[in-house]
């Protein structure tokens, strides 16, 4: 089986790693090069393939740079995690017909893996990251319970 080639994702990740390895990289250059596709108001921006790739790229930059600009970038990642359920998801990535995992689940797994790596490597941000992940998980559980309750209410009304 031939691997699917995702130029955009690979390009963003490689750019993030290269920027992380350049010691003279400034925040302005990072914003221009890596964060160019993100708007200041994430809530109004569709969560398309480029945005998802950029968010993973930010995490990779932080990991490979050993936390350079973490005080500016970690809050952005935490905010993104908090608003994921409200964002408009656009499934515009490469299509793999054999992969039946929804894009939302794929991204949430990758994004939380990056956040967990950051929590492990950046002790100053560990508590904030883990707290945000716990809140996101609690939100997901609450949503699932509400769906189950609605389903049970619909099912019981049909029996009457």
Inform me whether the pLDDT recorded for 103 exceeds 50: yes
| Model confidence band, residue 62 (pLDDT cutoffs 50, 70, 90) | very high
Q: Mean of the pLDDT values across residues 67-87? A: 96
* pTM, 2 dp: 0.87
| Model confidence band, residue 41 (pLDDT cutoffs 50, 70, 90) | confident
CB 8 within 8 A of CB 50: yes
Inform me whether the pLDDT recorded for 159 exceeds 50: no
Residue 5 vs residue 124, higher pLDDT? 124
Inform me whether the pLDDT recorded for 74 exceeds 90: yes
Q: Mean of the pLDDT values across residues 107-135? A: 98
Predicted confidence at residue 3, as pLDDT, reads 52
Tokens of 56: 């993973």
DSSP letter string over 34-86? TSTT--S-GGGS-B-HHHHHHHHHHHHHHHHTTSTTHHHHHHHHHHHHHHGGG
In whole angstroms, what is the distance from residue 44 CA to residue 47 CA? 9
Predicted confidence at residue 1, as pLDDT, reads 35
Inform me whether the pLDDT recorded for 36 exceeds 70: yes
Tokens of 85: 């359920």
Distance between start and end Cα atoms, the chain? 53
């Amino acid at each position: 089986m031939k691997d699917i080639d995702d130029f955009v994702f690979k390009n963003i990740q490689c750019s993030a790693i290269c920027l992380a390895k350049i010691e003279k990289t400034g925040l302005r250059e990072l914003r221009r090069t890596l964060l160019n596709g993100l708007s200041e108001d994430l809530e109004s921006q569709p969560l398309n393939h480029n945005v998802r790739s950029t968010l993973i790229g930010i995490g990779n930059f932080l990991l490979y740079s050993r936390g350079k600009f973490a005080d500016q970038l970690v809050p952005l990642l935490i905010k993104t995690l908090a608003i994921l359920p409200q964002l408009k998801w656009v499934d515009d990535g490469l299509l793999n017909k054999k992969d039946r995992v929804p894009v939302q689940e794929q991204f949430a797994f990758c994004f939380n893996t990056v956040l967990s790596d950051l929590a492990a490597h950046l002790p100053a941000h560990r508590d904030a990251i883990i707290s945000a992940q716990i809140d996101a998980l609690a939100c997901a559980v609450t949503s699932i319970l509400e769906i189950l309750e609605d389903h049970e209410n619909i099912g019981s009304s049909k029996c009457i």
